[in-house]
Structure 1
């Protein structure tokens, strides 16, 4: 199953984000959202030659995914330069309600701007179609703050995030050796 990287229709995307925010508020009230530190500080190396530091991890209480998949999202922020990147990393915690309430969300590694200037999220999701629906809705949020043409996502069905971190070769490149989304190694 293949999913094209692209935006959802605006009205549908904003309705999905609104539902997500409502569900996230309930999850936060029930203490179902967590910020583990296990992966914070890891440096990830991608096939496009870039490296990025994990600055936050977010996970929710849920049973093991029935249909695991990895989702990789990348974008470049407009108007964020120098020390403003650190400010973005701190304030981005406020963006949590925009994703944890989406159906199927399991976890996210937040990657700081990489050596090419792109931010990445490395997610685990339950259900490739759900991951695609989230990423297509997220596109509409990101387009408000991102460099035009810089938003991309890749859904990789059948993979678990921790397995990919342990053995990046599981992310076989179907689109060439320098695929921006393919993890090569981590430290």
Structure 2
């Protein structure tokens, strides 16, 4: 797999986010956005040696016809100690910034890991849609993240629940061996 591209041009990204917010508000009003509890509290291990706790799950009424997994990572600027818990609570307000993007299916919100990075583990309908979202998201994250800490990886043909059940499904896409985005089997 090749390295994912970086951020979208600012004007294009902010226009996409504005459209998304409008769509998200309609979806929220129609009760199409859900907060399942099944994965909350689960601890995920990654190939870079980090672990992270799932603190929230968001899903919409959509199935992926062309499934892919998207993993996003970033390190927040100036957030230390108890402020991490405040961020977890506040982050619910960020939901309209992503659920309305075309192709969004679900997201696991992963708390800051052993190295201080937050992750989102998504299922998306369509790899190109996932890339478009991640490139726009970059522009939001850069406002609050340590410079150089934002990364994303798109893994076409995989479903999130399949890789949670069998992380070895990510193995074929893993290069280098200790990829920050690759899940490992639970301890």
Same-fold call, TM cutoff 0.5: yes
SS of equivalent residue, structure 1 residue 21? helix
Could you say which residue in structure 2 is the equivalent of 1:101? 100
Q: Distance in 1 between matches of 2:90 and 2:158?
A: 30
- Aligned-partner SS, 1:129: helix
- In structure 1, the residue matched to 2:131 is 132
Task: Map Cα deviations across residues 69-101 of structure 1 (whole Å, 9 max, x no partner).
Answer: 000000000000000000000000000000000
Number of aligned pairs?
186
Distance 2:5 2:48 in 1: 18
Equivalent runs, 1:135-150 vs 2, <5 Å: 135-150=134-149
Q: Which runs of 5+ in 1 are unaligned?
A: none
- What is the root-mean-square deviation of aligned Cα atoms in Å? 1.1
Structure 1 residues 133-154: Cα deviation after superposition (integer angstroms, max 9, x where no partner): 0000000000000000000000
Alignment check: 8 A CA contact 2:112 2:118 kept: yes
| Unaligned ranges ≥5, structure 2 | none
Contact 1:42–1:186 under 8 Å retained in 2: no
TM-score under structure 2 normalisation? 0.97
Residue in 1 that maps onto 2:80: 81
Query: What residue in structure 1 maps to residue 13 of structure 2?
Result: 13
Q: How far apart are the structure 1 equivalents of 2:84 and 2:185? A: 24
Alignment partner, residue 57 of structure 1: 57
Separation of aligned partners in 1, 2:186 and 2:159? 15
Q: Distance in 2 between matches of 1:25 and 1:3?
A: 33
Structure 1-normalised TM-score?
0.97
Does the Cα contact within 8 Å between 2:174 and 2:182 map onto a contact in 1? no
Contact 1:5 1:152 (C-alpha < 8 Å) held by counterparts: no
Q: Does the CA-based 8 Å contact 2:33-2:61 persist in structure 1?
A: yes
Q: CA deviation at 1:114?
A: 0.1
Taking the aligned partners of 2:39 and 2:50, their CA distance within structure 1 comes to 18
Cα shift at 1:66: 1.0
Counterpart position of 1:48: 48
